[in-house]
Amino acid sequence: MLLRHPLFLSSAMLLASCATAPENTWSSQSMSENKPASQAVAQAAPAMAAYSARFIKGDLWNRPALSARDRSLVTLSALISRNDRTELADYLNLALDNGVTPGEIAESLTHLAFYAGWPNATSAAVTTQAVFAARHIDFSRLPGADVAPLPLDEEGEAKRAAMVEQNFGHVAPGVVKYTTEALFRDLWLRPGLAPRDRSLITVSALVTAGQVAQVPYHLNRAMDNGLTQEQAAEVLTQLAFIAGWPNIFSALPVFKEVFTSRQPA
């Protein structure tokens, strides 16, 4: 069964003359929200709409290496990192339909504020608030600041903190301080996102932003947290259509190096 998502709404516009609708179609509300963008692509770049129908609707979202839920997390992370709100509402609705919970979306926004910047996350929060309100989601049930943290790997964190302090403590002590206090002894211990999912959106944001120097640590952490090599490779495939092929090919050597380093001797 083909998945419904906004990247191929424009192709649906071109095929509107067909007598039979696809098995899964967007709700009238979703179509209405994205109508200007769909019309623009269909009219201004009809070949782009055709590529969407052929490769995205017809293939990408149906590939088995990554679940629809994971693809939604990857896609949301990329859109938030790019501050791309044109299709964000549609992808938020799709994520909720694919099993991402409102709490996980809220937690993703909080996490990406650190990894994609406060302004980008704030911009996305405006769209998210509207989507949640339209779906009558109870805002009081979203995770707040006070939560019981996950257990801390004291040994691993001590090694990370010592390495960062040694390399950069004399360069930017404030950055080192908040990296430890706000990120690795607080944010990463919040239970609203599973560690694997937190790593998944972090790697997705870094690749989207072209920050490949930060990928080795976080990709290794993601795989330590349960992301398989096949899934990690498929993240790049999903992101190619959002972040663009140049960003993906910049990340490929880094992924290859991480994969190679984890092979048994």
Domain of residue 231, CATH code: 1.20.1290.10
Closest CA to 108 of 65, 75, 154: 75
CB-CB contact of 29 with 134 (8 Å)? yes
How many structural domains are present in the chain?
A: 2
Alpha-carbon distance of 175 to 86, in angstroms, equals: 33
Task: Return the structure tokens found at 30.
Answer: 């979703």
Which of the pair, 127 or 265, is modelled with greater confidence?
127
Alpha-carbon distance of 80 to 108, in angstroms, equals: 10
Q: Classify residue 110: in a domain, yes or no.
A: no
Q: What is the pLDDT of residues 29-57, one digit of tens each?
A: 443 456 777 788 999 999 999 999 899 98
Q: Phi and psi (nearest 5°) for 17?
A: -80, -10
Q: What is the rounded radius of gyration, in angstroms, for the C-alpha atoms of the chain? A: 20
CA distance between the termini of the chain: 42
Return all residues near 32 (Cβ < 8 A) that are at least 6 apart: none
Task: Return the structure tokens found at 147.
Answer: 């939560």
Residues 151-161, mean pLDDT to the nearest whole number: 96
Closest CA to 240 of 230, 250, 231: 250
pLDDT of residue 60: 97
Average pLDDT, whole number, for the chain?
89
Residue 27 scores a pLDDT above 90: no
Q: Classify residue 18: in a domain, yes or no.
A: yes
| Percent of the chain with pLDDT strictly greater than 90 | 82
Range of the domain at 241: 156-261
Q: Classify residue 25: in a domain, yes or no.
A: yes
Return all residues near 119 (Cβ < 8 A) that are at least 6 apart: 83
CB-CB contact of 190 with 222 (8 Å)? no
Q: Classify residue 120: in a domain, yes or no.
A: no
Neighbour-count burial of 112, counting CB atoms closer than 10 A to its CB (0-12 exposed, 13-18 middle, 19+ buried)? buried
Which of the pair, 114 or 6, is modelled with greater confidence?
114
Boundary of a domain, candidates 13, 43, 62: 62
Q: What is the pLDDT of residues 112-151, one digit of tens each?
A: 999 999 999 999 999 999 999 999 999 999 999 999 999 9
Which of 18-32, 113-127, 178-192 comes out lowest in average pLDDT? 18-32
Specify whether the backbone of 172 is left (phi greater than 0), alpha (psi in -120 to 50) or beta: beta
Boundary of a domain, candidates 62, 79, 106: 62
Q: Classify residue 192: in a domain, yes or no.
A: yes
Question: Tokens 């009238």 belong to which residue?
Answer: 28
Residue 17 scores a pLDDT above 50: no
Boundary of a domain, candidates 17, 45, 62: 62
Q: Classify residue 92: in a domain, yes or no.
A: no
Residue 9 scores a pLDDT above 60: no
* Alpha helices, DSSP H, located in the chain: 9-14, 28-44, 46-51, 68-81, 88-97, 102-115, 118-134, 154-168, 173-178, 195-208, 215-224, 229-243, 245-261
Q: Classify residue 105: in a domain, yes or no.
A: no
Q: Classify residue 228: in a domain, yes or no.
A: yes
10 Å Cβ neighbour count for 63? 11
Question: Tokens 């269909």 belong to which residue?
Answer: 42
